[in-house]
């Protein structure tokens, strides 16, 4: 029996008001824009979502990892309201504004790269990745791009090419961008990879003197919350130095405090050349950025990178408050606490249910991989989907992930309370019991 304090399911899902929106969606919105939740949101606060019919859910998806400081964070809302009273848009490259520069200063101060560091802002994670590659190409005057197994870097042409999973991200969308080469990423639960394997694969695929850039997620996000062994990122740094290419960490999902450090790479003894950020940096307002060594960042010609809405004033004001919130609200410690509490629940599920093959993560970036059999580790994709949907219909939103779609993951707002975590976990437990008894 779930003791409900924060969740409430008072209609069928979708309820009548949500159903009316879905009926209109079916008529006017393109089919590939598929939606996950069987309800339509009306309002949200912190980690709680209320739908149009008054049903309430605990959101462990955090808008797919965009809401580390919580939905409608009070500081962010106040700054946005203030900005509304000043101006909405100019395009920073037409008429510049201070919040763009202030944000760059604050973000650079948070970035543990020695020497002079600079930033540039865009709109989406994919754009940050594309711009990091452009900057690296301009700097090295080389072309080739190295990426990894299980990577997700976005949906624009180059970012889609850099992404691993074909279905759904690449289906019918070729031809893909040239000069992108994929290397093995260690997946401790499934396969061992050595630094030598990675270098040998690199040398077999491309002349290293043609490589401009290597882009890697310090912890794999969409590909299944894979935490690499400690040697991995430093080994990539060595390869970058040996062959003279730029090392980019894609922190779009793992960054902005999710893992208990501001950037996930800070858990490993390594320094990148460039970092991509997006998602939680804007607290729900579209914003992305590339931050890195000034010598590399300054390489493209003036106006070589940019974009009409890149680093728009609302987004920069929100992001400045996000950075401040990390200091005032101690969110890095909170990420560790939230992660430990959720991990405890996941480990208890693993003791009880053989289908939970692996529980893993860093800080609040926690996931569990479901398998049909612990010996063969055959992915249990359908079961993961059924459990996540059961929980969704019962009041807790959990996204799934992974090349095989069999990882239940958590991208919850770091401001979630302990009681909310426990209620959400009771709902997840109920979903396990319902599907496995
Ligand atoms: C690691 C990583 N890079 C890039 C992206 C693309 O970001 P966006 O959807 O904002 O383009 C994502 C999105 O999930 C991501 O997780």
User: Are 264 and 378 in a shared domain?
Assistant: no
pLDDT-derived band of residue 2, with 50, 70 and 90 as boundaries? confident
Q: Which residues contact 375 (CB under 8 A, 6 or more apart)?
A: none
Using CA atoms, how far residue 119 sits from 100, 280, 289, 383, in Å, is 10, 17, 7, 43
**pLDDT (tens digit per residue) in 59-71:** 999 999 999 999 9
Q: How many domains does the chain have?
A: 2
pLDDT (mean) for 290-296: 98
Which residue's CA is the closest to the ligand 1 atom numbered 16?
253
Report phi then psi at 161, rounded to 5.
-60, -40
User: Are 83 and 226 in a shared domain?
Assistant: yes
**pLDDT (tens digit per residue) in 376-387:** 999 999 999 999
Structural domain containing residue 220: 74-328
Q: Which residues contact 209 (CB under 8 A, 6 or more apart)?
A: 142, 243, 244
Distance 152 CA to ligand 1 centre (A): 7
233 within a domain of the structure (yes/no): yes
237 within a domain of the structure (yes/no): yes
Residue 372: both structure tokens together: 């049909």
Distance 160 CA to ligand 1 centre (A): 10
pLDDT-derived band of residue 247, with 50, 70 and 90 as boundaries? very high
pLDDT at 184: 98
Site residues for ligand 1, CB cut-off 6 Å: 124-126, 129, 152-154, 217, 221-222, 250, 252-253, 278
Residue 375: both structure tokens together: 């010996």
> Considering 313, 328, 343, which residue would you say is the last residue of a domain?
328
7 within a domain of the structure (yes/no): no
366 within a domain of the structure (yes/no): yes
Tell me the C-alpha distance between 121 and 142, whole Å: 24
CATH of the domain at 253: 3.40.640.10
Instruction: Quickly count helices (H) and strands (E) in the chain.
Output: 13, 15
pLDDT (mean) for 108-114: 97
pLDDT (mean) for 252-273: 98
User: Are 30 and 91 in a shared domain?
Assistant: no
Which residue's CA is the closest to the ligand 1 atom numbered 3?
153
**pLDDT (tens digit per residue) in 69-107:** 999 999 999 999 999 999 999 999 999 999 999 999 999
CATH of the domain at 356: 3.90.1150.10
Q: What is the mean pLDDT of the chain?
A: 97
64 within a domain of the structure (yes/no): no
User: Are 212 and 307 in a shared domain?
Assistant: yes
> Considering 312, 328, 344, which residue would you say is the last residue of a domain?
328
User: Three-class SS of residue 282?
Assistant: helix
User: Are 142 and 211 in a shared domain?
Assistant: yes
pLDDT-derived band of residue 1, with 50, 70 and 90 as boundaries? confident
147 within a domain of the structure (yes/no): yes
128 within a domain of the structure (yes/no): yes
Distance 276 CA to ligand 1 centre (A): 10
Of 221, 289, 399, the one to substitute when testing ligand 1's pocket (max ligand atoms within 8 A of C-beta) is: 221
pLDDT (mean) for 358-378: 97
Given a cut of 90, is residue 228 above it in pLDDT? yes
Given a cut of 80, is residue 437 above it in pLDDT? no
* pLDDT above 70 coverage of the chain, percent: 100
Of 278, 283, 307, the one to substitute when testing ligand 1's pocket (max ligand atoms within 8 A of C-beta) is: 278
User: Are 232 and 122 in a shared domain?
Assistant: yes
89 within a domain of the structure (yes/no): yes
User: Are 341 and 263 in a shared domain?
Assistant: no
User: Are 416 and 301 in a shared domain?
Assistant: no
User: Are 212 and 319 in a shared domain?
Assistant: yes
pLDDT (mean) for 288-303: 98
Nearest CA to 217 among 265, 180, 184? 265
Partners of 182 in beta bridges:
147
pLDDT at 274: 99
Strand 396-397 to 365-370 pairing:
unpaired
pLDDT-derived band of residue 423, with 50, 70 and 90 as boundaries? very high
Residue 29: both structure tokens together: 């919105």
pLDDT at 251: 98
Nearest CA to 257 among 432, 62, 420, 122? 62
User: Are 92 and 126 in a shared domain?
Assistant: yes
> Considering 328, 352, 377, which residue would you say is the last residue of a domain?
328
């Amino acid at each position: 029996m779930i003791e409900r304090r924060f969740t409430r399911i008072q209609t069928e899902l979708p309820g009548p008001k949500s159903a009316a929106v879905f009926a209109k969606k079916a008529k006017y919105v393109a089919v590939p824009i598929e939606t996950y939740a069987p309800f339509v949101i009306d309002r949200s606060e912190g980690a709680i979502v209320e739908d149009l019919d008054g049903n309430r859910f605990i959101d462990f998806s955090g808008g797919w990892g965009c809401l580390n400081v919580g939905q409608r964070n009070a500081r962010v809302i106040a700054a946005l309201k203030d900005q509304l009273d000043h101006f909405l848009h100019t395009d920073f490259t037409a008429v510049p504004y201070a919040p763009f520069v202030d944000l760059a200063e604050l973000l650079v101060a948070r970035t543990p790269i020695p020497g002079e560091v600079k930033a540039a802002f865009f709109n989406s994670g994919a754009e940050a990745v594309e711009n990091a590659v452009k900057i690296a190409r301009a700097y090295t005057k080389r072309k080739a791009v190295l990426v990894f197994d299980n990577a997700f870097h976005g949906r624009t042409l180059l970012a889609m090419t850099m992404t691993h999973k074909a279905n759904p991200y690449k289906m019918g969308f070729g031809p893909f961008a040239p000069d992108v080469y994929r290397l093995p990423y260690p997946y401790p639960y499934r396969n061992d990879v050595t630094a030598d394997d990675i270098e040998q694969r690199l040398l077999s695929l491309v002349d290293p003197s043609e490589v401009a850039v290597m882009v890697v997620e310090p912890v794999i996000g969409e590909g299944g919350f894979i935490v690499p062994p400690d040697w991995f990122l430093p080994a990539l740094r060595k390869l970058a130095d040996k062959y003279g290419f730029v090392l980019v960490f894609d922190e779009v999902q793992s960054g902005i405090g999710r893992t208990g450090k501001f950037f996930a790479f800070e858990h490993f003894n390594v320094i990148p050349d460039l970092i991509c950020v997006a998602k939680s940096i804007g607290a729900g307002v579209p914003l992305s950025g590339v931050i890195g060594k000034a010598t590399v960042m300054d390489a493209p010609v003036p106006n070589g990178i940019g974009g009409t809405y890149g680093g728009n004033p609302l987004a920069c004001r929100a992001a400045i408050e996000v950075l401040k919130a990390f200091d005032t609200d101690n969110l890095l410690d909170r990420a560790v606490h939230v992660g430990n509490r959720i991990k405890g629940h996941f480990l208890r599920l693993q003791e009880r249910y053989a289908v939970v093959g692996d529980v893993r993560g860093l800080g609040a970036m926690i996931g569990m991989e479901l398998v049909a059999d612990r010996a063969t580790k055959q992915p249990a994709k359908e079961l993961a989907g059924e459990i996540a949907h059961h929980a969704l219909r019962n009041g807790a939103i959990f996204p799934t992930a992974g090349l095989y779609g069999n990882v239940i993951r958590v991208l919850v707002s770091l401001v979630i309370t302990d009681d909310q975590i426990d209620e959400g976990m009771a709902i997840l437990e109920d979903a396990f019991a319902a599907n496995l008894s």
